[in-house]
Amino acid sequence: MADTPQETLANLLSEDRTFPPSPEFTQAANVTAAAYDEAAADRLAFWEAQARRLDWSKDWDRVLDWDNPPFAKWFTGGELNVSANCLDRHVANGLGDRVAIHFEGEPGDTRAVTYAELLDEVKRAANALTDLGVEAGDRVVIYMPMIPEAAVAMLACARIGAPHSVVFGGFSAAALSSRIDDAGAKLVICADGGFRKGKAFALKPTVDEALESCPSVEQVLVVTRTGQEVAWNDRDVKWEDAVGGASNEHEAQPFDAEHPLFILYTSGTTGKPKGILHTSGGYLTQASFTHHAVFDLKPETDVYWCTADIGWVTGHSYIVYGPMSNGATQVMYEGTPDTPHTGRFWEIVQKYGVTILYTAPTAIRTFMKWGDDVPAKFDLSSLRVLGSVGEPINPEAWVWYREHIGGGSTPVVDTWWQTETGAIMVSPLPGVTATKPGSAQRPLPGISVDVVDEQGEAVPDGGGGFLVIREPWPSMLRTIWGDDQRFLDTYWAHFDGMYFAGDGAKKDDDGDLWLLGRVDDIMLVSGHNISTTEVESALVSHETVAEAAVVGASDPVTGQGIVAFVILRGQSESSPEHLAELRAHVAKTLGAIAKPRQVIIVAELPKTRSGKIMRRLLRDIAEDREIGDVTTLADNTVMSRIKTGLQGGKED
């Protein structure tokens, strides 16, 4: 670990607001406090009971094979079909007419797809894939906008045992081809394009360009979404012909619990992307259980909406596999939150009576910036659980979310997990936990997460350090595709016998967990390790600040100086007095050690498509360097706009 801090993380921020669930919520909750005790008494028996949520064609012999750590096998000897668990069994139980997906296209087109219709389409797609020569074990790359066919493609792959690798519809030809190549994919499923920010964007030309250097791909299956003109090659097949013309009879075959289900590439900050491999039985068990427990899903009455893209792990686990294994009715939205107006999300919540909403802190902070009056125009009273994922949620944003979206009464669950963990690991349980703004709080039942120091010793309450996972969990990554050594080096080499997540964290005085950002981002100021998250949260707690990103820039005196990039709420201009006030506000909230050397007002921040701030690029600006690799940015022109629009104040 090149950037390993030499001392434990300073614990600066304190929070004493708590929000217990209402007695009515607790009474009706899917999971009670007893789950923690059951799991603590016998962790494997607990997971075995959760695996019974699914239909298995053949029972397992062993719950966990950990004979060759860190290569885990869960439910060994067991067999199941993931797609049959998400579809066939619901239809067989008489739920075929239940809406699985309320699709809302960005241009305003809508479709309601029932479980029976979804199953019909997935069976046709499975037959079409088989006709195209795809067999169990073959890899299929999916490059699609947020349309129901993306879920159909994933479930059809799962049905025939062909691992899918979904690549974000926003990625470039180079990013796409390196992922296709690494997976050795045989088929690509894409769309002509999709709709975003009021315009049709093209996907097919990017696939054509990517395939110039991908010899493994034999065919391309193309869904028509926008109807735009596309070049047509010999290898291209129209989805409407192949799937539309295929039989809707298809008997799902069982696969081994450890059969690969999907590969999902995480960009990482450096080096080539890592293909995170997930398998079937353990993954589906934890995705299904956590969706049931953390969101308290009542499939008969709830309308669930996860706003993530399907190309992100959140879309895999909490749009496709978790919700569908639970028979949920959900909303799927194709576009952006400000098209055609900034109230689009709330209009959708009102229209469908959404009861459970799962979104990202970056979106919440953007809504704060747009103003309280936007959501106030809509009826959001159907909402009963709110979730957050992707980054630490600042206490201020958490409270705003509960107040202005949740009517001041809904539980807010801050869910920590990773592509690698496959499913939620740390989160409040909405009917059990008294929630605390900004804290992900406790590992879920059956999950063993801790915070340790340099030596791998657990830190006491009130201390900070590195987030680790002590025991294997069902939806854990099995390896990095094609690179076991990198799997060992990246996650298992830092602390003996523990998985290292790469995140910094602290335990507060109650033992609740606070995520403090990636350890690579932690700043070392005058001998103190300070987390970017705490300084950002302090800035966001100032009434004029909507969003902040903080980096440590080399400083001849202090080692690193804190440089803050700030987006203001409803104003774009600042003054020297205002900048001084922001710096003083941080010093007052966290102590003088955390006072930023410099505050720079910006209109936007560099983010990945899943909304994570790319601090590495801001560090380049703060240190006046050439800006590094921007290929995973959602909008790769943002850096030049930030550079040309700099407005800031510096300590003399």
Annotated binding-site residues read: 196-199, 314, 390-392, 414-419, 503, 518, 526, 540, 542, 545
- For residue 313, count other CB atoms closer than 10 A to its CB: 24
Q: At what angle do helices 43-51 and 34-41 cross, to 10 degrees?
A: 120
- The answer to whether residue 439 forms part of the interface with ligand 6R9 (CB under 6 A) is no
d(CA 49, CA 41): 13
Min separation Cβ 440 and ligand 6R9, Å: 5
291-330 residues in contact with ligand 6R9 (CB under 6 A) are 313-314
Residue 149, φ and ψ in degrees, nearest 5: -60, -25
- Tokens representing residue 604 in the block: 């936007």
- Tokens representing residue 320 in the block: 């496709």
Output 382 or 418, the one with its CB closest to ligand 6R9.
418
What mask of x and - would describe binding to ligand 6R9 in positions 455 to 494, judged by CB under 6 A?
Answer: ----------------------------------------
* DSSP result, 451-518: EE-TTSPBPPTT-EEEEEE-S--TT---EETT-HHHHIIIIISSSTTSEEEEEEEEE-TTS-EEEEEE
Output 516 or 601, the one with its CB closest to ligand 6R9.
516
List the binding residues for CoA: 196-199, 314, 526
Q: At what angle do helices 281-294 and 43-51 cross, to 10 degrees?
A: 90
Output 121 or 503, the one with its CB closest to ligand 6R9.
503
Residue 269, φ and ψ in degrees, nearest 5: -95, -25
Min separation Cβ 515 and ligand 6R9, Å: 3
What are the angstrom distances between the C-alpha of 609 and each of 149, 170, 360, 604? 20, 7, 11, 14
Options 299-307, 453-461, 495-503, 628-636: segment touching ligand 6R9 (CB under 6 A): 495-503
Min separation Cβ 511 and ligand 6R9, Å: 17
590-619 residues in contact with ligand 6R9 (CB under 6 A) are 610
- The answer to whether residue 441 forms part of the interface with ligand 6R9 (CB under 6 A) is no
Q: Give, rounded to a whole angstrom, the gap between the first and last alpha carbons of the chain.
A: 34
Min separation Cβ 498 and ligand 6R9, Å: 15
Output 145 or 611, the one with its CB closest to ligand 6R9.
611
What are the residues whose beta carbons fall under 8 Å from the beta carbon of 442, sequence distance 6 or more? 426, 427, 428, 433, 512, 513
Among 415, 479, 529, 574, binds ligand 6R9 (CB under 6 A): 415
Residue 413, φ and ψ in degrees, nearest 5: -110, 120
What mask of x and - would describe binding to ligand 6R9 in positions 221 to 260, judged by CB under 6 A?
Answer: ----------------------------------------
Judged by phi (left if over 0) then psi (alpha if -120 to 50, else beta), residue 624 lies in left
For the chain, counts of helices (H) and of strands (E): 22, 31
- The answer to whether residue 417 forms part of the interface with ligand 6R9 (CB under 6 A) is yes
Min separation Cβ 254 and ligand 6R9, Å: 29
List the binding residues for Mg(2+): 540, 542, 545
What mask of x and - would describe binding to ligand 6R9 in positions 373 to 412, judged by CB under 6 A?
Answer: ----------------xxxx--------------------
What are the angstrom distances between the C-alpha of 253 and each of 79, 96, 136, 620? 9, 21, 10, 52
Residue given tokens 């209109």 in the structure block: 603
- The answer to whether residue 419 forms part of the interface with ligand 6R9 (CB under 6 A) is yes
What mask of x and - would describe binding to ligand 6R9 in positions 517 to 546, judged by CB under 6 A?
Answer: -x----------------------------
Residue given tokens 């350890």 in the structure block: 519
- The answer to whether residue 275 forms part of the interface with ligand 6R9 (CB under 6 A) is no
Output 102 or 278, the one with its CB closest to ligand 6R9.
278
Output 355 or 419, the one with its CB closest to ligand 6R9.
419
Output 83 or 441, the one with its CB closest to ligand 6R9.
441
d(CA 299, CA 479): 33
Q: 537 and 585 in contact (C-beta within 8 Å)?
A: no
Output 102 or 612, the one with its CB closest to ligand 6R9.
612
Strands 236-238 and 219-223: parallel
- The answer to whether residue 503 forms part of the interface with ligand 6R9 (CB under 6 A) is yes
- The answer to whether residue 418 forms part of the interface with ligand 6R9 (CB under 6 A) is yes
Residue given tokens 């690579």 in the structure block: 520
Contact residues for ligand 6R9, defined by CB under 6 A = 266, 313-314, 389-392, 414-419, 440, 501-503, 515, 518, 610
